Copies of this chain bind each other. A is one copy, B any other.
Amino acid sequence: MPEAYLVGAGQSDFGSFPDESYRSLFRTAYENAIDSVPNGLDPDLIDEAVIGTLGVGGRQLGLSGPAVTEHLGLHGIPCTRVENACAAGGYAVRQAAMAVKSGLADVVLAGGVEIMTDVSGDSVRFWLGVSGETEWERLSGTTFAGVYAQMARAHMDQYDTTTEQLSRVAVKNHSNGADNPHAQLGFECSLEDAENAPTVASPLNLYHCCPTSDGAACALIVSEDVVEQFTDEPIRIAGVGAASDSVGLFQRETYTSIPASQQAGADAYAMAGIEPTAVDFAEVHDCFEIAELLAYEDLGFCEPGDGGAMIDRGETARDGTLPVNTSGGLKSKGHPIGATGTGQVVEVFKQLTGAAGDRQLESPTYGLTHNVGGSGGAAVVHIFERERSTAGDRR
């Protein structure tokens, strides 16, 4: 199977931008991605684009992929919109890797974008709700916070997980986000702040929930035939895993794990030929802070039920053994649905190329991204490997 490589990634700020459009936000992300390519990249070489979005807040529900690329001046290239709710961006990266591996493309733009703070027609609750199961969840009044609250409560019942542990995830992620200039909520919070926030959907409070965000993020994925034009130290997409599940939480056998994450992770590890212990850092899908604890368990970073203890021990802090969400995660950096998965890749690219500034880790080799759609109806995991060997030694 031909290899695919990550040679650039960039994002817009995540936040609330009433003066921006989905196109202008995407252009910022795209230009930052182009600028990040070590040896430069002529946009005329881009021969395919994949755009992840839930629906840019209702602005352009059809042809939203080409609507983005035409604004970039990428005329004529095949462009496909992909949607898997909050995992749209992660699946855009996967499709880009497939396009390269298939031999049908050499230089692929994988992007994601969302407008959530100013939505047309309906409320943001509608636009979030459409990613859940329609008939038995959304139309019966269940919100996304409500769905994850059920998962949190089940985890507490089964494993004695505490709200304080959820709060510790928020404290860690805000601490990281405070060092990320693109973060929407780039400020630190204390454990006391996080513990005493108003309830959103019990047991989840405000600090256990990510914000509503506008933003865009892009990654540039290339084939092994051309990678040496763009960088001397390639980042290989060593593992790709994806899985689906029932869209509605109520139809799953378990509320205390996300089976699609487990499967996607297992497949990505198998393809990369590594164990979870080899991962140096990870960006995981903490739309609600219980989701980060589930990710620790589902991705094999700890045993089932030990997620709470793992955050207590500080293992996933920036100075821990396995830093998680050094970007600030969805909680602090923000969660512009379609841009979240590609945004995770931006952090991995920065960490693996030494461009993460004040939050830089020491020489990581393997970075993992984990992106979830809905409450687990879809999940996608990528493992990126910084290749440090000299030319000629590439596998």
Contacts and interface: CB of A to CB of B under 8 A. Distances in A.
* Residue of A61, A79, A94, A103 contacting most chain B CB atoms (<10 Å): A61
Given A61-B55, A66-B373, A67-B377, A76 B263 contact: yes
B131 A75 contact: no
Contact residues of A: prevailing secondary structure: mixed
Interface stretch (A24-32, A33-41, A239-247): A239-247
Given A79-B378, A80-B82, A81-B82, A244 B65 contact: yes
Contacts of A100: 102
Interface in A17-75: 49, 54-55, 59-67, 69-70, 75
Interface in A350-378: 373-374, 377-378
Interface stretch (A83-91, A167-175, A184-192, A195-203): A83-91
A63 B132 CA distance: 8
A66 B377 contact: yes
Contact of A242 (B61, B67, B78, B247): B78
A259 interface: yes
A133 interface: yes
Given A61-B54, A98-B99, A245 B66 contact: yes
Contacts of A259: 76
Contacts of A79: 84, 244, 378
A373 B67 CA distance: 12
For chain A, the bracket of interface size reads 35 or more
A20 to B, nearest CB: 15
Contacts of A78: 94, 242-244, 380
A9 B242 CA distance: 25
Contacts of A54: 61-62
B85 A82 contact: no
A378 B54 CA distance: 19
Interface in A318-372: none
Contact of A260 (B76, B98, B122, B374): B76
User: Which of A63, A263, A377 neighbours the largest number of chain B CB atoms within 10 Å of its CB?
Assistant: A63
B67 A133 contact: yes
15 contacts: A1-B102, A59-B134, A61-B130, A62-B83, A62-B85, A62-B373, A66-B373, A70-B246, A75-B244, A76-B243, A76-B263, A78-B94, A78-B242, A78-B244, A99-B102
